[in-house]
């Protein structure tokens, strides 16, 4: 597993780097496919914040925690990621009748995200590319919540189309299903 540990408003010492690596390496016992782990350590006022992003073959695990102490924040984010992995693993186990996370994550991706035409009058500041994994609406909502985003683009397994789930202002969820004329 390769760790990329960055500091924002903080110098990442060897002790801090070693502690982060040691704590987050514990997640390997849950998932063999972990290759890259992006960790951002930052200080904002008196808050010590840790953000961790782990891409896993179409699924992205993300955790963010802050506290008064950087080491405590690292512990909290590691526990949060463990819970996310267990929750996701249980859901996949139920969906695939015991096939588990490894088999589910190794399924082939059926379609890539289409490139949007760039419009000159709107400046695109950032472009993200990601693999689309076939999933149902419930799994897409869970993935959106794991990432902490307000929307999530996914490949709907039953209809074999790209759909979008989003969090509404009233706290419920919405689904956008494209219709092609």
Rounded (10°) angle between helices 70-95 and 137-147: 170
> 63 and 146: one domain?
no
Q: What is the pLDDT of residue 81?
A: 87
Put residue 114 in one of left, alpha, beta given phi > 0 → left and psi -120 to 50 → alpha: beta
Q: What is the CATH number of the domain that holds 17?
A: 3.30.160.100
**Residue 100: inside a domain:** no
pLDDT digits (tens, 9 = 90+) for 98-134: 444 444 444 433 333 333 333 345 677 788 887 788 8
User: Do residues 125 and 166 share a domain?
Assistant: yes
Based on the fold, state whether residues 16 and 59 are members of the same structural domain.
yes
**Together in a domain, 59 and 120:** no
Strand partners, 7: 41
Q: Determine, yes or no, domain membership for 11.
A: yes
Based on the fold, state whether residues 88 and 13 are members of the same structural domain. yes
Kindly report the number of other CB atoms within 10 A of residue 61's CB atom.
22
The arithmetic mean of pLDDT across residues 14-35, rounded, is 83
How confident is the model at residue 25, as a pLDDT? Answer: 86
The two tokens of residue 4 are 């990329």
Is the same domain home to 21 and 77?
yes
**Distance separating alpha carbons of residues 153 and 160, to the nearest angstrom:** 13
What is the structure's pLDDT at 50? 92
pLDDT score of 132: 82
Domain's final residue, options 95, 118, 135 = 95
Last residue of a domain, one of 64, 95, 126: 95
Counts for the chain of helices (H) and strands (E), in that order: 4, 10
Q: How many domains does the chain have?
A: 2
Asked if 72 and 38 sit in the same domain, the reply is yes
Co-location of 6 and 91 in the same domain: yes
- What average pLDDT score do residues 5-11 get? 89
Q: State the chain's mean pLDDT as an integer.
A: 79
Average pLDDT of the residues in 8-37: 85
Percent of the chain, pLDDT > 90?
A: 25
User: pTM of the entire structure?
Assistant: 0.53
- Domain of residue 160 covers 108-176
pLDDT of residue 172: 92
Q: How confident is the model at residue 97 (pLDDT cuts 50, 70, 90)?
A: low
Q: Quick one: 10 and 70 in the same domain?
A: yes
Q: Which residue has the higher pLDDT, 80 or 179?
A: 80
pLDDT of 59 > 70? The answer is: yes
**pLDDT at residue 19, as a whole number:** 93
40 and 87: one domain?
yes
The pair of three-digit structure tokens given for residue 165, joined into one six-digit string: 């789930």
């Amino acid at each position: 597993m390769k760790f990329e540990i960055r500091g924002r408003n903080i110098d990442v010492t060897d002790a801090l780097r070693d502690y982060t690596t040691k704590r987050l390496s514990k997640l390997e016992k849950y998932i063999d496919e972990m290759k890259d782990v992006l960790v951002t350590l930052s200080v904002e006022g008196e808050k010590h914040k840790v953000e961790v992003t782990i891409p896993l073959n179409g699924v992205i695990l993300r955790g963010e925690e802050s506290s008064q102490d950087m080491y405590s924040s690292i512990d909290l984010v590691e526990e949060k990621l463990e819970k996310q992995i267990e929750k996701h693993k249980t859901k996949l186990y139920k969906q695939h009748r015991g096939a588990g996370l490894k088999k589910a994550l190794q399924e082939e991706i059926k379609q890539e995200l289409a490139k949007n035409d760039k419009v000159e009058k709107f400046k695109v500041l950032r472009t993200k590319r990601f693999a689309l994994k076939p999933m149902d609406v419930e799994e897409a909502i869970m993935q959106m919540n794991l990432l902490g985003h307000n929307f999530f683009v996914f490949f709907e397994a039953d209809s074999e189309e790209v759909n979008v789930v989003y969090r509404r202002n009233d706290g419920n969820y919405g689904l956008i299903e494209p219709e092609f004329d």
